Amino acid sequence: MKIGSRSALTMVGMLFALPMLTSCTASPSDLSATVATDPITVRCTVTQHGTYPNITFTTAAESSQINDTSTAISKVTFIFASIGNIAVDATDSTVTAGNRVFKADLSTGQSKVVTAVYYVDGVEVKRATSTGDCAGFQMPRG
């Protein structure tokens, strides 16, 4: 009898604890409300590799919730007006100076303005645009 009641108490305790364990992940609406006013910096860096230029676009969130690697960013997309979108594997991020950084590389000589869009569970939660063109090198012909 005692074993049965102890087992029942354990089962009831687990049922109450389960929702608390699963409710720690932010939903897209929670995250978008939290980060709506948080700044995200979008930068570009141009490097010359031999005769071809390489432009690295990075987006760094200055938000504690986005920077928390337990926040499940499902996708980050870099949107370029002239060439379309580049989706970045959201699991492939680095942390630099406390900021979670996502990166996209382009081998191009064109100037670009880029917008970075953050998604959680397929829902857009944050969008940030670079402050100006990223001036690349001229592509060699031929």
Over the stretch 12-63, which tens digit does the pLDDT of each residue have? 444 444 343 333 445 555 555 555 555 666 766 666 656 555 667 777 666 6
Residue 50 lies in a domain: yes
Residue 61 lies in a domain: yes
More confident residue, 12 or 90: 90
Contacts of 34 (CB under 8 A, 6+ apart): 26, 63, 65
**Can you give the CATH number for the domain in which 32 is found?**
2.60.40
Pair 131, 108: CB distance under 8 Å: no
Residue 85 lies in a domain: yes
Residue 97 lies in a domain: yes
Residues 66, 125: Cα–Cα separation, whole Å: 10
Instruction: Return mean pLDDT, the chain.
Output: 63
What percent of the chain stands above pLDDT 90? 0
Show the domain range for 61: 27-129
Number of domains comprising the chain: 1
Residue 119 lies in a domain: yes
Residue 10 lies in a domain: no
pLDDT per position as a tens digit, 111-127? 567 777 877 777 777 77
